[in-house]
Amino acid sequence: MTGTALKTLSNSRRAARTALCRAARGNGAMDQNYTHQPVLLEEAAALLVTDRSGTYVDATLGLAGHTIKLLSVLDEKAKVLGVDWDPEMAALAAGKLEPYGARAKVVQGNFANIDEILRRENLPAVTGILFDLGISSLHFDKPSRGFSLKHEGPLDMRINPANPLTAFSIINHWPYEQIEHLIRIVGERNSNRIARAVVDKRAAGPLETTAELRDLIERVIPFRGEKIHPATKTFLALRVAVNYEFDNLTRGIQKAMPFLASGGRMGIITFHSLEDRIVKETFKIMADIGEWKMVTRKPVVPSETEVLLNKRARSAKLRVIEKA
Ligand SMILES: C[S@@+](CC[C@H](N)C(=O)[O-])C[C@H]1O[C@@H](n2cnc3c(N)ncnc32)[C@H](O)[C@@H]1O
């Protein structure tokens, strides 16, 4: 095949992929039955609830699994405020919570600004706040959101689609050094080979889809049936960067602290060691200052049965701290 024919073929493949992504994007989730199996549900409710008629905040509402659990153990006077950064998720959760009337309220927003949200909602002292970090199964299962290795979708990965930064912009516009660093900090040993492959590939035209990136990584680091796919850590690194996840977490904890009533608790469920390290270290500093005491000396982890029933739970860790 001549160089021109090859270029035409690759352009038409790219056009087909872009059309697929556009089609997937237009295929709204509102009419589909997406589910998310909440992790450490019993444990989180048991450790967070100290007053059955209190006011609680679910800072990562998702599809409202933890909120509904909390409402089931709380009495009629109690209230739960659910916050989610993703407008689609907030809308789906609001529908699920309709039967609970005024006991549950949903707000779309970033928990990094939880202070502003709580001030706006006139909630100066809450009884408990829960963060169940990361993304929901809906995000993984809906190809148009571009989070999953398994489905072909645009390189997007934004929790809130109003944000300017996408995985596409990182992959296609960031310099080699920044991409390599980003992938390395999540523990990818082949960060230099992956970043080099990305930079070489994009010289011939932008990488548009999750499948293009996954396949490229598979060519550099062949998949030989290891526990995790060779692109898993790169996808995680992109998601964390696109959504400023570490920064949001640190800010979220700090901003929530003054809004907990005395005896109120903050519970955080993490899914990877970098997140857990931030929570562990921040909670330690809080306890050392003296105004807080650790409720969980060691993180609470899911039972074997939960992990068997829900593979996603296998890396979950719950830590809880209480305000004196
Ligand atoms: C693991 S899911 C929560 C699932 C939820 N506990 C349930 O039972 O359905 C995490 C949720 O947090 C949301 N999220 C992630 N970062 C956020 C942030 N900075 N502010 C608010 N919500 C956020 C995601 O959109 C996602 O819906």
Measured by CA distance, the residue closest to atom 12 of ligand 1 is 60
CATH number at residue 291: 3.40.50.150
Give the ligand 1 atom nearest the CA of 271: 1
CA–centroid distance, residue 89 to ligand 1 (Å):
8
Q: How confident is the model at residue 21 (pLDDT cuts 50, 70, 90)?
A: very low
pLDDT digits (tens, 9 = 90+) for 45-63: 999 999 999 999 999 999 9
Cα 84 to ligand 1 centre (Å): 6
Q: pLDDT digit string (tens) for 102-124? A: 999 999 999 999 999 999 999 99
CA 10 to ligand 1 center in whole angstroms: 38
Same domain, 231 and 289: no
Residue nearest to atom 2 of ligand 1 (CA): 136
Residue 135 Cα, ligand 1 centroid: separation in angstroms?
5
Average pLDDT over residues 66-91: 98
Of 41, 42, 61, 158, the one to substitute when testing ligand 1's pocket (max ligand atoms within 8 A of C-beta) is 61
Task: Note whether 131 and 59 are same-domain residues.
Answer: yes
Considering the domain boundaries, does residue 145 fall inside one? no
Which of 11-20, 81-90, 226-235 is the least confident region?
11-20
Taking CA 49 as the corner, what is the angle to CA 44 and CA 53, rounded to the nearest 5 degrees? 145
* Crossing angle of the two packed helices 232-242 and 245-256, in degrees rounded to 10: 50
| Angstrom distance (rounded) from CA 287 to CA 167 | 37
Please tell me the residue having the least CA distance from ligand 1 atom 5.
62
pLDDT digits (tens, 9 = 90+) for 206-241: 999 999 999 999 999 988 878 889 999 999 999 999
Residue-averaged pLDDT of the chain: 91
User: Do both 258 and 280 map to the same domain?
Assistant: yes
| Any ligand 1 atom below 6 A from CB of 84 | yes
pLDDT of residue 32: 54
The domain in which residue 182 lies consists of 164-242
Domain boundary among 189, 224, 242: 242
Task: Determine the Cα–Cα distance for residues 71 and 282; give it in Å rounded to an integer.
Answer: 28
Query: Has residue 258 been placed in a domain?
Result: yes
Q: How many domains, in total, are found in the chain?
A: 2
Ligand 1 and 60: CB distance under 6 A: yes
Atom of ligand 1 nearest to the CA of 58: 6
Residue finishing a domain among 207, 242, 277: 242
Go through 31-65 and write b for each residue having 16 or more CB atoms within 10 A of its CB, e for each that does not. Answer: eeebebebbbbebbbebbbeeeebbbbbbbbbbbb
216 and 93: one domain?
A: no
Both 251 and 228 in one domain: the answer is no
In a domain, 8, yes or no: no
Q: In this structure, is residue 38 part of a structural domain?
A: no
pTM score of the predicted model: 0.90
Report the pLDDT value the prediction gives residue 22, as an integer from 0 to 100: 38
Query: Does 263 reside within a domain?
Result: yes
Question: What integer is the mean pLDDT of 293-297?
Answer: 97
Name the band, by pLDDT with cuts 50, 70 and 90, for residue 195: very high
Q: Which of 37, 60, 270, 312 to mutate to test the pocket of ligand 1 (most atoms within 8 A of CB)?
A: 60
CA distance 96 to 107: 14
Q: Is the pLDDT of residue 77 over 60?
A: yes
Question: Is the pLDDT confidence value at 26 over 80?
Answer: no
Going from the C-alpha of 163 to that of each of 95, 219, 263, the distances in angstroms are 24, 31, 36
The answer on pLDDT for 29 being more than 50 is: no
Q: How confident is the model at residue 222, as a pLDDT? A: 81
pLDDT band at 278 (very low <50, low <70, confident <90, very high): very high
Apex CA 44: angle with CA 93 and CA 158, to 5°?
A: 45
The 10s digit of each residue's pLDDT in 147-192 is 999 999 999 999 999 999 999 999 999 999 999 999 999 999 999 9
User: Does residue 3 surpass a pLDDT of 70?
Assistant: no
- The answer to whether the CB of 275 is under 6 A from ligand 1 is no
Percent of the chain with pLDDT over 90: 86
In whole angstroms, what is the distance from residue 155 CA to residue 211 CA?
9
Which pLDDT does position 224 carry in this prediction?
83
| Structure token pair of residue 267 | 């519970």
* Closest residue to atom 17 of ligand 1, CA basis: 85
Do 128 and 255 belong together in one domain?
Answer: yes
Question: Are residues 269 and 231 part of one domain?
Answer: no
| C-alpha 266 to ligand 1 mean position (Å) | 16
- 211/146 Cα distance (integer angstroms): 9
Q: Say if ligand 1 is within 6 A of residue 112 CB.
A: yes
pLDDT tops 80 at residue 11 = no
Average confidence (pLDDT) over 75-88: 98
Distance CA 292, CA 139 (A): 34
Closest listed residue to residue 66, CA positions, set 54, 87, 48, 78: 48
- For residue 261 the two structure tokens come to 């009533």
Distance, CA 139 to ligand 1 centroid (Å)? 10
Assign 3-class secondary structure to the chain: CCHHHHHHHHHHHHHHHHHHHHHHHHCCCCCCCCCCCCCCHHHHHHHHCCCCCCEEEECCCCCCHHHHHHHHHCCCCCEEEEEECCHHHHHHHHHHHHHHHHHEEEEECCHHHHHHHHHHCCCCCEEEEEEECCCCHHHHHCHHHCCCCCCCCECCCCCCCCCCCCHHHHHHHCCHHHHHHHHHHCCCCCHHHHHHHHHHHHCCCCCCEHHHHHHHHHHHCCCCCCCCCCCHHHHHHHHHHHCCHHHHHHHHHHHHHHHEEEEEEEEEEECCHHHHHHHHHHHHHHHHHCCEEECCCCCECCCHHHHHHCHHHHHCEEEEEEEC
Among 190, 212, 242, the domain-final residue is 242
Establish whether residue 62 lines the binding site of ligand 1, counting it when its CB lies within 6 angstroms of any ligand atom. yes
pLDDT recorded at residue 5 = 39
Residue 30 domain-assigned?
A: no
pLDDT (average), residues 299-317? 96
The CATH number of residue 186's host domain is: 1.10.150.170
Same structural domain, 294 and 264: yes
Instruction: Mark whether 70 and 218 lie in a shared domain.
Output: no
Please indicate, yes or no, whether residues 125 and 183 belong to a single structural domain of this protein: no
297 has a pLDDT exceeding 70: yes
